[in-house]
Amino acid sequence: MAVGREALTVAMSRKSAEPAPETDFFADAACQGADTTLFFPVSDTYADDAKAICATCPVAEQCLEYAVETHQPDGVWGGLTAIERHRLVRRRQRVAREERARDESAA
């Protein structure tokens, strides 16, 4: 995700009681200097250029986790669109529920 210096200083968590996630990784992002409009396409159909940059990024995983933790509603972060991130969160929630159910039945 292309990020300006000002965004680095105001990283905030959605919940004020939680500390803001680390953003040091932004300095190593492959999108530094890229046109930010690439990362906010009008639809997922046009996200390929942003995803191509993310595919080469050494910090794509940290970027994705940042977007998930801060509930970014739009854009391509860590190679996933908002819809794809939503699906990822839902999969993680399902797996966690299944693991809890397995643990409870084994106890």
pLDDT at 1: 60
Question: What confidence score (pLDDT) does residue 20 get?
Answer: 74
List all residues 6 or more positions away from 73 whose beta carbon is below 8 Å from its beta carbon: 82
State how far the alpha carbon of 4 is from the alpha carbons of 26, 60, 103, in Å: 9, 17, 44
Concatenated DSSP letters of 47-96: -HHHHHHHHT-TTHHHHHHHHHHTT--SS-BTTB-HHHHHHHHHHHHHHH
Q: In angstroms, what CA-CA distances link 22 with 60, 95, 97?
A: 14, 26, 27
Q: Are 53 and 34 in contact (CB under 8 A)?
A: yes
* Confidence bin at 106 (pLDDT 50/70/90): confident
| 88 pLDDT more than 90 | yes
For the stretch 33-64, pLDDT in tens is 999 999 999 999 999 999 999 999 999 999 99
Question: Can you give the residue range of the structural domain that contains 46?
Answer: 5-106
**Number of independent structural domains in the chain:** 1
